[in-house]
Amino acid sequence: MPDDLLEFPVTPTPLPAMNQTPSAPRTRFAPSPTGYLHIGGVRTALFNWLVAKGQGGQFILRIDDTDQQRNVEQALQPILEGLRWLGLDWDEGPEIGGSHGPYYQSQRGQLYQQAVQKLLETGAAYWDYATPEEVAQEREAAQREKRPWRYSRRWMAATEEQRRRFEAEGRRGVVRLKMPQEGTCVFDDLIRGRVEVPWAGEQDHVIQRADGSVLYHLASVVDDYHMQITHVIRAEEHLSNTPRQIFIAQALGYPLPRYAHLPYVAEPGSRNKLSKRKLKKYLNQPDFRKVYEAGTRIMQALGRPVDPETFNPVMVQFYRAVGYLPEAVLNYLVLLGWSLDERTEDFSREEMLRHFSLDRVNRAPASFDPAKLLAFQQRWMQRVPLAEKVRLVLPYLQEAGLVPNPLEPNAPLARRVEQVVHYAEDRITVAGDILQFAYMFQGDEEFPYNEKDFQKRLLKPAEAAELLEAFAQELEQLSPEQFLASRIQELMQQFVEKHSIKIGQIIHAVRVAVTGQAVGFGLFETLEVLGRQATLGRIRRALRLVQEKRSGE
RNA sequence: GGCCCCGUCGUCUAGCCAGGUCUAGGACACCGGCCUUUCAAGCCGGCAACACGGGUUCAAAUCCCGUCGGGGUCACCA
């Protein structure tokens, strides 16, 4: 036996861990119904889902609504929709039930009452009759004297008689935890390793309010036990809550779950926690702004209001609305704090399930970078076959009123959608990008001209209109059947030689005349898809506009 | 402030536990070039980091101590 092994200090066994059947973890995601799904929240859900489903276990969704009187159902919908969109299906929870229900904390009051009762009986908790003001006074006094504060237990009722006395004074009791005052709480965190917290720093937390309702920590511990949760995987902000939960669990005689505290997701370019309320600040960040504005443009093209309450790159709804692929969002998210090795970046759902493990989760917080998310989106989108892309893009065209809904599969317009997606393929990174090509679906007299582009390519160059006119005459020589990209290109080359001009002198003018803007996919393809009649009509409209503007000056 | 956690390119990270193969690897962003009818895409190239200071060691991003910095948490919120 090696010497250093002999010298290894004998450590007291940490708190008993739950008897593991390592085969089937049960994890849970426990959001409170706030009406939106935060990026950090989904990542927590993802990791929980991966641990459970990667090892043949169950992923449970539980709603922490102990404090909500609002419309829970309504505030819950965006969360459920978001999880479903991403494919993070739950095995037990709202809308599907399960054998450990109900899955709303507001409906599990009886379980909590029993737990409180037991805590009271065993002396792990006590009735307390301090008013909130009295407690605040104590705390402030301690603060003034710069000493650590602990509740004095002055209004603790140790006996039934004391309770009656306090109540006779008109006081209403809460139930507090009777926390240990010395020693250390030790637990093994799956991500952080051994964590030690002195009990002396813990308060006698309230677990039941004066109105009889119960607080989060109690509910959470009781539920985790009854739902047989094996791994509590949650955000780091709960790390310092863990000792009190361990205390509750042990006092109740529950085996402990394993804990894993994920580093939180930080703001772009800083170490602060990502918050949905700081949208304005994040917009100062160029990458963030770029992603947001691209999204905003899509919403505007759809005629949807841009509501900062719901349309915000900090929330998953944003990505769904704009047309990201769930695969891309998951791929980005899984790498936010986790990695497999030094090079693998592409993870499908199946690959994540196969490879994910908590021991490769990073301990430091990770900044959210929407530009990198976009890069993943681009990669995933490149792999989507044409027919599927058409399917993704269609709802955007329909909502914008550019294409009827439903669209007959064999209608000429269906063919056009396909062509546009085909030619614009590299330019469509999110489904909503199709709306950049709205001009391909608008009437020849309706599509708008970008003023700056019109100015630059048609108005300002002295010869532009004349050349355009001449080129239109050449185009007229082609029959509708001859109106093909290759033929048009040939024609233009001849045209350029004939007039001894550079191709740039005509091609930009044609593009702006026909599309209304200076950017787009291949011009010859654009003309082909538009067809002879539309092309000529649009050029005539542009020439007319040039004339109007010139004479108007 | 107490307690807890964290600290590798601007960002996500690999490497750290088992010190040399690290003149620190990959990706995003950025910059430059090629391609080109525009803008993208694509291809090629470039910039760029071990928070700091002490130890231990022949050798430290890796081990130890300290400092600094950042964050979380301290509710009759979740």
**Block mean pLDDT (10 aa), chain A, length 553:** 27 40 83 90 96 95 80 88 96 94 92 96 94 89 83 91 92 94 89 89 92 93 96 93 94 94 89 88 88 94 88 94 96 94 92 94 93 95 95 96 89 92 95 96 93 89 90 92 92 91 91 95 95 94 88 70
ipTM score of the complex? 0.94
Within 8 A by CB and 6+ apart from A82, the residues are A37, A42, A316, A317, A320
Contact, A364 CB vs strand B, < 7 Å: yes
- The reported pLDDT for the residue numbered A398 is 96
Contact A189, A233 (CB under 8 A): no
Report the DSSP pairing between strands A265-266 and A206-208. Answer: unpaired
For residue A303, the one-letter residue type is G
A437 and A420 Cβ atoms separated by less than 8 Å: yes
Specify the 3-state DSSP secondary structure of A232: strand
CA of A135 to C1' of B76 (A): 11
Whether residue A281 lies in the annotated active site = no
Collect all residues with Cβ–Cβ distance below 8 Å to A198 and sequence separation of at least 6.
A182, A183, A184, A185
Distance A335 CA to B23 C1' (A): 29
Q: Is the CB of A201 under 7 A from strand B?
A: yes
For residue A453, the model assigns a pLDDT of 92
> What single string gives the DSSP state of each residue in A18-65?
P---TT--EEEE-----SS-BHHHHHHHHHHHHHHHHTT-EEEE-B--
Q: Which residues contact A444 (CB under 8 A, 6 or more apart)?
A: A534, A537, A538, A541
The spacing between the Cα labelled CA in A39 and the C1' in B55, in angstroms, equals 43
Question: Does nucleic acid strand B have an atom less than 7 angstroms from the CB of A358?
Answer: no
Bridge partner residues of A366 (DSSP): A265
Contact between A217 and A105 (Cβ < 8 Å): no
CB-contacted nucleotides of strand B (7 Å): 1-8, 10-15, 25-29, 37-42, 70-78
Q: Which of A276, A452, A456, A549 does the annotation list as catalytic?
A: A276
Gap from A302 CA to B19 C1', Å: 59
What local confidence, expressed as pLDDT, does residue A19 receive? 44
A29 CA → B3 C1’, Å: 27
The answer to whether A367 CB is within 7 Å of strand B is yes
pTM of the model: 0.91
Tell which residue, A388, A390, A536, has the closest CA to residue A469.
Answer: A536
Q: Could you tell me the CA-to-CA distances from A530 to A142, A351, A403, A418, A503 in Å, in that order?
A: 78, 43, 15, 13, 21
Residues of A (304-343) placing their beta carbon closer than 7 angstroms to any atom of strand B are: 335-339, 341-343
